[in-house]
Structure 1
């Protein structure tokens, strides 16, 4: 099985554009075995800095999964009512304009590479409901509109982010998994659609303050026939440079079997394998499986940026061997 890497989270050129540094980073990624492609950040344009550079420097073999979370969080910083699940009509329409741009960017990448390059687009059910109203009704209305567009062969997938819960602080505070499931089931039935849900390991752990909670979310989605994939981002319940229960994409834990790991990360090789096992029959060659890992310190050199990704992928690969 081949996997996706959310390379932007460990990129040396994400916050400040440096094409030479990114080129060196991509050169290392191209040597990875079992790499299907990249989870690619959508912020409003195909590439946050240079569309042409991006199309010229990606591997001819890579597939892509667009993620809208960076652009969504940026928009929420300016307008808390932004989101495809927003009950504020202006905020919802603003999010749909953003999604239309993402749709256009997928078409641009396919044309530039001369092939169907994008497997799926991950959308998130903003807004943060501690700051603005969001609902299943509004999400359904947005997805109905989005299903009328030509997505150039890409599937629409909801990436479940931690929902607003009363018991503790949240990172995203988006819709509940139950609401997302309800909407997708209705639309798949009424529109003959192929909508599904991707579980982000770290965000489900944050929502439930538990690694067991990730398994519960996987089981919920699997039982409803909506499982589309599993992306591994770590988290910790202890003091660390990544924060306590923060959505900072903490790398996987240290292990005797890998060269790179983050101390106190709850994302251990055992937890990775538990989660993959929980997917059961829903885990197929068509599933989106991969990693999205951050880096501390933020000015780290190239070696650990590559190394954390290699080490985490090795943990996943051992499950399938």
Structure 2
């Protein structure tokens, strides 16, 4: 099986554009035989800095999954009422306009590469409900509008982010998993659609403050026939450069079989395998499976930027080798 890499999280040129550094980084990612393609950040245009450079420098064989979380978080920093689940109509319309730009960017990438290159777009159910009202009703209205657009062959997938819970501090505070499931079931039935959910390991762990909560989310979504994929980002409950229970995409924990890993990460190889096993037959060759890992220190050289990704992918590979 081949996987998606959220390369922007370990990119040497994400915060400050450096075409030469990014080219060197992409070159090494292209050499990884088990990489299907990139989870690509959408912030308002195809590439945050240079659309033409991006089209010219990605692998001609890569597939892509767009993620709207970087752009969504940027918009929320300016307007807390922004979001496809927002009960503020202006904020919801702003989010739909943002999604329409993403739709256009998918078309531009497909045209630039001369093929259907984008497998899916991951959308998130903002706003942060500690700062603005959001609801299943508003999410449903947004999804019904989005289904009327031509997505150039890309599937629409909700990436569940940690919901607002009363027990502890949140990272995103978006809609609950139950609300997202209810809306997807309703929209799929009424619009004859095939929308689904993707679980982000780290965000489900943050919501439940446990690794068991991740398994519960996976099984719950699978039971409704809505599981479209699983992306691995780590998290920790201990002091670390990545923070405690923070959505900083902590790498997987190091073990004796890999060169790179993060101390105290709850995302161990055992937890990766438990999560994949919980997915069971819901995982197919058409599923989105991959990693999105951050880097500390932020000025780290190229070797660990690629190495963290390569080591985590090896952990996933071993699961599929064992069950083959």
**TM-score after normalising by structure 2:** 0.99
Within 5 Å, give how 1:147-158 maps onto structure 2: 147-158=147-158
State the alpha-carbon separation in 2 of the partners of residues 103 and 92 from structure 1.
Answer: 16
3-state DSSP class of the match of 1:236? coil
Partner of 1:165: 165
Within 5 Å, give how 1:1-321 maps onto structure 2: 1-321=1-321
3-state DSSP class of the match of 2:306? helix
Q: Any idea what the Cα deviations from partners look like across 1:175-201, whole Å, max 9, x if unmatched?
A: 000000000000000001110000000
3-state DSSP class of the match of 2:157? strand
3-state DSSP class of the match of 1:46? coil
* Cα deviation, residue 33, structure 1: 1.2
State the alpha-carbon separation in 2 of the partners of residues 76 and 29 from structure 1.
Answer: 31
3-state DSSP class of the match of 1:23? helix
State the alpha-carbon separation in 2 of the partners of residues 310 and 2 from structure 1.
Answer: 12
* Cα deviation, residue 34, structure 1: 1.3
Q: Any idea what the Cα deviations from partners look like across 1:71-122, whole Å, max 9, x if unmatched?
A: 0000000000000000000000000000000000000000000000000000
Runs of 4+ off more than 2 Å: none
Aligned residues: 321
Provide structure 2 residue ranges, at least 5 long, that are not aligned to the other structure. Answer: none
Q: Over aligned residue pairs, what C-alpha RMSD do you find?
A: 0.3
3-state DSSP class of the match of 1:126? coil
**TM-score after normalising by structure 1:** 1.00
State the alpha-carbon separation in 2 of the partners of residues 34 and 23 from structure 1.
Answer: 19
Q: Any idea what the Cα deviations from partners look like across 1:114-164, whole Å, max 9, x if unmatched?
A: 000000000000000000000000000000000000000000000000000
* Cα deviation, residue 281, structure 1: 1.0
State the alpha-carbon separation in 2 of the partners of residues 57 and 194 from structure 1.
Answer: 32
State the alpha-carbon separation in 1 of the partners of residues 92 and 75 from structure 2.
Answer: 12
